[in-house]
Chains A and B, each alone.
Chain A
């Protein structure tokens, strides 16, 4: 259309939604295009494209998109149909559900991960050093219970749990907690 006069604003680049640094959105956002968040969003985000949380961005929301790229701070559950990427400097607290998860060095994360394939969680045990035999299936019952509630494991005798996949997960949690500056994790009894 005609030129936009009146000194006020703004030449826009098309088809990219930006929540700028000085903006605070409280409520629901949904749509079908990329969204870049440099400001603050509380509530929920539901997109068919990519959500990019910039370094200055703070999202306290449930995020649902095709791809989610986090360079800033996200508090809330994140679910992506394609990928979730935590860049260096990212902080995420919440559960992630995605087929592909990329966590870069320097990213901080606390929560559960469910690697889904086409929406449903994959009931597969994570590959550990002990469970890598091709012939035998690695204990599906133990694996599913581990992915169901890995946060607070029942106390188990120390050496016997050495080969359990839970142990790998717990040490990852430990590292994540240290990154957040905590002295010790909440209730996990793996220090015995």
Chain B
């Protein structure tokens, strides 16, 4: 309960900030800035610059990702953009285009 979920038919155009977990099944464009975890599900599309603690991507992300803890690209995800995080995991089958910076 009380997790934030962006459902599959929802489109948010703008800015999301907060300190709570976020599940993206729909589309978010703009900017996302959280202090917690982001999960982009298979149907999720993130066209945004992302700042977060951890992000787990099953879907599509276009934009730069800055994670203070971990970025995880699961198989079948598509990511275009630069990733900056101390720990970056890319699974077999993931598609990724961009720079990686693990210096933290």
Contact = CB atoms under 8 A, between A and B. Distances in A.
A43 B72 CA distance: 31
Interface string B27-48: 0001000001101011000000
A45 to B, nearest CB: 10
B12 interface: yes
B54 interface: yes
Contacts, number: 109
B6 interface: yes
**Dominant secondary structure of chain A at its interface with chain B:** loop
A184 interface: no
A191 interface: no
A29 B13 CA distance: 6
B39 A35 contact: no
Contacts of B10: 17, 29-31, 33, 35
Interface string B2-25: 111111111111111111111101
B14 A26 contact: yes
Interface stretch (A7-15, A107-115, A126-134, A150-158): A7-15
A18 interface: yes
Contacts of A39: 4, 18, 20
A80 B72 CA distance: 41
Nearest to A20: B4
Interface string B49-83: 00000101010000000000000100000000000
B51 to A, nearest CB: 14
A22 B19 contact: yes
Nearest to A56: B2
Interface residues of B, number: 34
A26 B21 contact: no
Contacts of B72: 6
B13 A18 contact: no
A32 B7 CA distance: 9
B8 A15 contact: yes
Contacts of B21: 8-10, 20
29 contacts: A8-B39, A9-B3, A9-B21, A9-B56, A10-B3, A12-B23, A12-B25, A14-B7, A18-B3, A20-B2, A20-B3, A20-B20, A21-B2, A22-B19, A23-B16, A24-B17, A26-B15, A27-B14, A27-B30, A28-B13, A28-B14, A29-B10, A29-B14, A30-B11, A30-B13, A31-B9, A31-B10, A33-B10, A34-B7
Interface of A: 1, 4, 6, 8-10, 12-35, 38-39, 43
